[in-house]
Amino acid sequence: MAATKDDSTDSVQFFEGVEKLLEIWFTSSSSINRKQGDLRQIPHESSMFLSKRRLILKTCGTTTPLQCLEPLLELVKEYTGFEEVENVFYSRKNYKKPELQISPHQAFEEEVALLDTFFPAGEAYCLGSVDSDCWYLYTLNKEKSVDEPSEPDQTLEILMTHLDPEVMALFTRDVCSSADEATQKSGIDKLIPNMIIDDFLFEPCGYSMNGVSKNGNYMTIHITPELEFSYVSFESNIPETSYEEIIRRVLNTFKPKKFVVTIFANKESIAASCPRDLEQTDYLKDSGDWLRTDVQYCRFKNYDLTCAFYSRFPS
């Protein structure tokens, strides 16, 4: 998250803010494992959230989360009794400097080849323009068994670049002395009220926070503030019938020049109509500040997804 300054060249050392996001849902043919449970967050500068059947791992830089799949699946089977993967979602935005990544993460095709060895029914997608901004997704997209439990699920993600310099300055040790100060001065603590926040301010700059609520929702934010490659991600599974207000709050907090919005929801969620709504209704058109440059809607067997790309207008 943090970048250091090379005194000999007086240039900022590059850091890749774009995260790899891995989400896996587990199931079992035995009803003994279908226990109720709540969300647990593992505090770290990256993000890992565990609930009764789901694991979410989100990490940036040159980390290699897909290399954990083999031991992870073995540990889950050994210690929880979950025998099968119900669904998997692996996604990321295009990197700024893919050549700096470590195998298998230099190219999406390489990531897909590895994922296919674990999930033969997996399908890969690229939304947006491969020549500029795009968003990659790998998922199983299979019919849910009638024996598998049904529960509401939804995810909002906002990936922002070219951010406001004054806002980004808050996430440096020159301006804020602690993570708590950066959280409050930026207004992050007001984005989704009543979250229990675990935050971290890096040295000399960079920020991450993980938040959980008592009813099992999460929020996570990662910030790379260096102006040459500034990047902020926001993600939450809070259930809403409309995400317009949350999206506006996030944009007003960080003031990006470009961003991507993705909304996932299954039919059990109160957010089930949100992906289609985002595709058909440009929430931000009336403000005059944003130009939607691309939007794509996907209907999977169990989820709907919309991915929309925006730029500040006039640019």
Contact 90, 111 (CB under 8 A): yes
CA-to-CA distance for 60 and 53, rounded, in angstroms? 24
Taking alpha carbons only, the member of 122, 36, 27, 117 closest to residue 77 is 27
Active site residue 213: no
Is 45 one of the annotated binding-site residues? yes
Q: Is 166 annotated as a binding residue?
A: no
- Active-site position among 28, 47, 60, 105: 60
Residue type (1 letter), 192: I
> Of 91, 134, 176, 222, which is the active-site residue?
222
105 is catalytic: no
- Residue 78: C-alpha distances to residues 81, 134, 143, 222 (Å): 6, 37, 26, 32
Strands 84-93 and 196-201: unpaired
Identify whether 60 is a catalytic site residue.
Answer: yes
Residue 23 in marked binding region: no
The active-site residue out of 208, 233, 236, 269 is 208
Give the C-alpha separation, 168 to 27, whole Å: 41
Which residue is listed with tokens 């089930």?
Answer: 272
Q: Is 226 labeled as ligand-binding?
A: yes
Q: Is 44 a catalytic residue?
A: no
Where does residue 175 fall: left (phi above 0), alpha (psi -120 to 50 degrees), or beta otherwise?
alpha
Catalytic residue among 28, 46, 47, 233: 46
Write out the catalytic residue numbers.
Answer: 46, 60, 208, 222
